[in-house]
Amino acid sequence: MMALVTGFLASHVGAVRHHRFEVGIGVRAVSSSESETVAAVNGSSSRNGSLLLKEEKKVPFLRVEEKKNKRGEEEEEGLAALWDDGYGRRSVEDYFAAAKEMCKSDGGPPRWFCPLECGPPFKDSPTLLFLPGMDGTGLGLTLHHQALGKAFEVRCLHIPVHDRTPFEGLVKLVGEAVKLECALSPNKPIYLVGDSFGGSLALAVAARNPTVDLVLILANPATSFGQSQLQPLFPFMEALPDELHVAVPFLLSFIMGDPVKMASVNIDNKLPPAKKIEQLSYNLTALLPCLPELADIIPRDTLLWKLKLLKSAAAYANSRIHAVKAEVLVLASGKDNMLPSINEAQRLMGLLQNCKVRVFKDSGHTLLLEDGIGLLTIIKGTCMYRRSRRHDLVRDFIPPSMTEFRYAMDQVVGSFRSVTGSVFFSTLEDGKITKGLSGVPDEGPVLYVGYHMLLGLELISLTDGFLSEKGIVLRGIAHPELFRPKVESWSSEFSMIDWVKIFGGVPVSASNIFKLLSTKSHVLLYPGGAREALHYKGEAYKLTWPDHPEFVRMAARFGATIVPFGAVGEDDLAELVLDYNDLMKIPIVNDRIRNMNRDSVKFRDETSGEVANQNLTFPVLLPKIPGRFYFLFGKPIKTKGMDKILKDRESANQMYLEIKSEVEHNLNYLIKKREEDPYRNFVDRKMYQIFYPHETDPTPSFKP
């Protein structure tokens, strides 16, 4: 058979676990016997030698002789905050270029390959098997390879253009790979990412392997093929003469995806509008000549075969969907012109035992090849990433990448930076207050204890400030309600709650704080919790803390540094018009509040004092001309060596009161000093930025 390996790591699903092999872009294939293929590396056998590629008849995976990878055999232990995930560096043009090369001499049975861009993942990463859509190339994750390669051992299924393996045969092939991977790593989950047709294939494999720990990510699964909007066109395609088939790719390209979103992948959102349009125009011009290549990727006979395969795949998967026990995440596009994907996502959610849905309303059918959010980001935000049978939000956490940070700050919270103009102050060891975060410890474990502003709006500024200035991820202790299955299951978009998880939020519990401190994390704790963030009228900047000092004893156990801080500025953004007490006096409204709180998570009892479990609701606010946010971090309190706190409850309580007093002192200091800030008002700050556009420092504030 003929084999073409271009720009990828040829691999056996089991052997590559310990050895990685680089294969250059210029690889050419030569004729071979039924069981062996000799491929020249980088197109020059005299310079680089040759590799023996051996295929077994029973399991069609590529085997490669051992060759040391340039990057060595060391596995990465983890990732630092703001790591480079490479998203936006690859484009749809790269997909077409690689697919064109792959299809030049594309024979043989379906097989697996590992993209070179994926690189070595960090230690104990699970395996991800990508199951392609109609194209069959296995290149549908081109935009996501670098990011996914850090968190997974990535394998992609390639179905050659002229292959006619029936659907049952593909189910068996993938099933064998799943069983082999399960035997090699029985305690790790196996991820199946299915795109369109691959979604049906993933469900079918999961139904036949109910005892294997599988996680399914389905992008617009073709299980709804019977209800496709294109059903009337299929007989027309079958009757279309060969000489007119060249026009079909153009039709399919506009049906399957949005060319504008495809061309927007590598455009920087910070560019001026005129530059964005210019870049988009250039990208579209470069993309259009690639469309005829679809005729080579999906020729006429292959297209007709794929349509039959889609039909049988949908019928097979739907008849066995009741047997699927796997964890499932469905990604549905709002502008899918090929399948009714949103309706199908709702149907699957009702049929599957453990299913979440995220809707991307502006995306087309080829969701994974369009501009938007990276696939790894989606997996992280939906709490679907884990490296063992049990999900551990501390151990399985992957720090936010630079792309995620920029996207969140520019696209999700929008102009929040400009509106709040946040300014940070910290206290040095000698007690001197200085602008910036130089007084904050660089090394953990650190426990930041402070005041929760109205609606917790300061969290955005804190996340931004610590990552921008210190490169530190604050692991926020969040309300458990955010992590309930009911909240996580369905979302009409990738929501703010998902971003809380991406940036390190974990549900409040003693065990989670224990794990975070034991891993030397920087932990953000609000003793007042939701009660403080949803406070009543007249309670602005009032600490509503529980009566027991447990976090002090926990910090002392790990020798953590405690940093008390104050945050001021909520009253500069909005006025509290109706609080909980006011809303409970309104008929019908009070019934809705009671119903909403009836099933809420209760994690505190009456011993917690003012923050004891009680009904909460969002207040009614009246926006104001924005002011400014101010933060002051007090002098760090070191608990290392304070064994007395662990044994003496009175000593722990004394430190607790000192921390509370320090937070109150910081609040009072900021409330007073902000009156001296000449740029406290939003309009004044904008005027300063207009007159001093080239200043690298943020807008000035008061002198500490």
Q: How many CA atoms lie less than 13 Å away from 542 in the CB half-sphere?
A: 11
Token couple for 700: 């000035």
Residue with token string 């590629």: 53
Type of residue at 468: S
Confidence of residue 64 (pLDDT cuts 50, 70, 90): very low
The closest of 275, 284, 268, 266 to 87, measured between CA atoms, is 266
CA–CA separation, 416 vs 302, rounded Å? 51
pLDDT bracket for residue 252 (50, 70, 90): low
Output the pLDDT for position 263.
61
> pLDDT tens-digit profile of 110-124?
999 999 999 889 888
Burial of residue 655 (number of CB atoms within 10 Å: 0-12, 13-18, 19+): buried
Average pLDDT, the chain: 81
> What backbone torsions phi and psi does residue 491 show, to the nearest 5 degrees?
-145, 130
Residue 138: which of 251, 4, 311 has the closest Cα? 4
Specify the pLDDT at position 255. 53
Within 10 A of 209 (CB to CB), how many other CB atoms are there? 22
pLDDT, residue 610, reads 60
Alpha-carbon 298 to chain mean position: 32
Q: Residue 632 is encoded by which pair of tokens?
A: 């002051």
pLDDT digits (tens, 9 = 90+) for 348-397: 999 999 999 999 998 888 899 888 889 999 999 999 999 999 999 999 99
Cα separation of 439 and 565, whole Å? 12
CB atoms under 10 Å from CB of 50, counted, come to 14
Are 453 and 533 in contact by the 8 Å Cβ rule? The answer is yes
Q: Average the pLDDT over each of 56-70, 416-430, 542-556, 602-616 and give the range with the smallest value.
A: 56-70
Domains of the chain: 92-382 (3.40.50.1820), 402-691 (no CATH)
619-645 pLDDT per residue, tens: 999 999 899 999 999 999 999 888 788
For the chain, give the percent of residues with pLDDT over 90: 54
Q: In what order do the strands lie in the sheet with 153-158?
A: 8-10, 111-115, 153-158, 127-131, 190-195, 214-219, 327-333, 355-360, 490-491
Tell the residue number behind the tokens 């505190």, with chain if given: 604
Confidence check: pLDDT of 217 > 80: yes
Contact, 445 vs 523, CB < 8 A? yes
Strand ordering across the sheet containing 62-64: 28-29, 36-40, 50-55, 62-64
Sign, Cα dihedral of 391, 393, 395, 399: positive
Instruction: Report whether pLDDT(299) > 90.
Output: no
Task: Please give the Cα distance from 538 to 434 (Å, whole number).
Answer: 31
* Alpha-carbon distance values, 50 to 47, 105, 503 (Å): 9, 19, 45
Nearest 10 degrees: CA dihedral of 193, 79, 637, 639? 80
* Cα–Cα distance for residue pair 381/376, rounded to 1 Å: 9
Q: Which of 103-112, 450-459, 540-549 has the highest mean pLDDT?
A: 450-459
Q: What burial letters (b/e) apply to 137-149, b meaning 16+ CB within 10 Å?
A: bbbbbbbbbbbbb
214: three-class secondary structure by DSSP: strand
The predicted structure's pLDDT at residue 6: 32
In angstroms, how far apart are the furthest CA atoms of the chain? Answer: 88
User: CA nearest 420: which of 695, 678, 680, 703?
Assistant: 680
- Is the pLDDT at 213 greater than 90? The verdict is yes
Return the higher-pLDDT residue of 282 and 129.
Answer: 129
SS3 359: strand
Identify the bridge partners of residue 568 per DSSP, sorted by sequence position.
630
CA distance 445 to 545: 22
Residue 100 in 3-state DSSP?
helix
Question: Mean pLDDT, to the nearest integer, of 685-695?
Answer: 85
Q: Which of these, 85, 100, 215, lies nearest to 161 by C-alpha position? A: 100
Report pTM.
0.83
Phi, psi (degrees; rounded to nearest 5) at 20: -115, 150
Instruction: Give the HSE-up count for residue 605: Cα atoms under 13 Å, Cβ half-sphere.
Output: 2
What distance in Å separates the CA atoms of residue 22 and residue 7, rounded to the nearest whole number?
8
Judge whether 115 and 176 are in contact, CB under 8 Å: no
pLDDT score, position 55: 34
Residues 30 and 42 sit within 8 Å (Cβ to Cβ): no
137-182: pLDDT as tens digits: 999 999 999 999 999 999 999 999 889 999 999 999 999 999 999 9
Mean pLDDT calculated for residue range 82-97: 88
Closest CA to 256 of 359, 336, 370, 161: 336
Q: What is the dihedral of CA 309, 314, 319, 321, to 10 degrees?
A: 120
Percent of the chain with pLDDT over 70: 76
Q: What tokens were used for 210?
A: 């109910």
Pairing state of beta strands 36-40 and 630-633?
Answer: unpaired
Tokens 């709702």, located at residue: 346
- Residues 6+ positions from 245 with CB-CB distance below 8 Å: 295, 299, 300, 303
Please answer whether residues 81 and 473 qualify as being in contact, where contact means their C-beta atoms are separated by less than 8 angstroms.
yes
Instruction: Extract the tokens encoding 457.
Output: 């709006």
The closest of 195, 220, 193 to 206, measured between CA atoms, is 193
- Provide the pairing of β-strand 36-40 with 28-29: antiparallel
pLDDT digits (tens, 9 = 90+) for 227-245: 887 766 666 666 656 555 5
Report yes or no: 654 and 548 within 8 Å, Cβ to Cβ.
Answer: no
Cross-strand pairs, 62: 55
Question: Residues for the chain: how many in total?
Answer: 704
Q: Give the DSSP H or E segment for 621.
A: strand 620-623
Q: Nearest CA to 339 among 197, 194, 249, 220?
A: 220
The C-alpha angle 274, 291, 252, rounded to 5 degrees, equals 105
Q: Are 476 and 516 in contact (CB under 8 A)?
A: no
Interatomic CA distance for residues 379 and 373, integer angstroms:
10
pLDDT at 322: 95
Give the C-alpha separation, 459 to 464, whole Å. 8
8 Å CB contact between 593 and 537: no
Q: Which letter, b or e, does each residue of 619-654 get, where b requires 16 or more Cβ atoms within 10 Å of its Cβ?
A: beeeeeebbbbbbbbbbbbebeebeebeeeeebbbe
Return the pLDDT at 489: 67
3-state SS, residue 648: coil
Q: What is the pLDDT of residue 41?
A: 23
